Copies of this chain bind each other. A is one copy, B any other.
Amino acid sequence: MVAIIDASITRFGKRKESLLELAGEVALPLIGKYEIDFVVVSNSYSGEFNSLSGINNLITTYLSVDKVPSIRVDNTSGSGGSAILVAKSLLDSKITKTVLVLGVEKMSEKNTKQVTSVIASLLSPEEKIVGLTLPSLAGLMTKEYMRRYNASREAFALVAVKNHYNGSLNPFAHIQKVVSLEEVLNSPIIADPLTLYEFTPISDGASAIVMVRDEDAYSFTKKPVFIKGMGASSDTSYLSEREDILTMNAVRIAGLTARKMAKVDKVDFAELHDMATVLEIVEAEELGLLKKGEGWKAYYDDYTKINGEMPINTSGGLNSKGHPIGASGIAQAVEAFLQIRNQAGSRQVRNARVGLSLSMAGFGNSATVIIYGDEP
């Protein structure tokens, strides 16, 4: 298997820097320290947002490592997990020794309406025509969860309260602000019943990790973070065809595959894809982190908080840290790297030895689960 030997992240948010400058901010310090022999760029919308193509080559040129081969890996919001899977494969195949995986997205060159329209381009053409959007699906999912499990409306808002609190402890998070339950409930409704604070903002940002094979890891650092298991799965893009709006097959299968490979039952923390608050709950249930149909109850006490039994989204998650599309999955790996190395500062989970991340495209169209640990 493979290991992460270093990591870097920019402040997420509305940034004045260009896509190439953001990439440079995370990558230049790493390029200087290691002999990188392949660059995997995780990015989804450089064409649509920035009128750039071939950005993997533009980035290696910008970093002055012209001769290092590179590719762009795209899987929309789940690009980061896919890029890490590709990097792991390139290392396993012995084609490369030291891979830089760089996630970057510069979204704020377009306005909210344009960004929403671009992201909706991942929906099936037929469903886009009838006005389906990812936020509207999150609203429908929330209503069905509440109905089926007799869940409270507040539980979902409490996800946002927790994640905003966690994000306030993360110097790289977009929204560095604590919000109260009342503030979440009283913010404008985006997709009934979910409100503004329950959705991820539009962010710029970049994140990077350096990956090597297990056997090389200790020659670079005393504390590598190992990738113990990975799973990737997929589900129909036709959301109206899903058997059940509360079932996320790709997430469940990717999670089972990763756990089986990693041979771990218990994880000490998890970074999930909380594009909307409801998703954190449903994903945690599909991944076996919370009990099916009862996940919402966990948000009434400390269970998912940093000091709880199953800390979720200690980084602030997409909800508060932000979601620069291609950078998000790599940012999850950065958080796992910091937590397992005991470098997460005021949001440090005690005894964080094994972590899990879920990188996801669309509404579970594609899912990659990674399990990280302090040993191979």
Contacts and interface: CB of A to CB of B under 8 A. Distances in A.
Contacts of A44: 53
A132 interface: no
Prevailing SS type, chain A contact patch: mixed
Nearest to A52: B121
Contact of A95 (B85, B122, B234): B85
A367 B85 CA distance: 22
A76 B54 contact: yes
A249 to B, nearest CB: 7
Contacts of A45: 47, 53
A258 to B, nearest CB: 11
A361 B234 contact: no
Interface in A240-270: 249-250, 253
11 contacts: A44-B53, A56-B366, A58-B122, A58-B124, A66-B234, A67-B233, A67-B234, A69-B366, A70-B234, A74-B74, A89-B95
Contacts of A94: 92
Contacts of A168: none
Interface in A67-95: 67-76, 82, 85-86, 88-90, 92-95
Interface string A226-242: 00001011111110000
B361 A66 contact: no
A144 interface: no
A61 interface: yes
A365 interface: yes
A365 B82 CA distance: 24
A88 B52 CA distance: 28
A342 to B, nearest CB: 30
Interface in A289-332: none
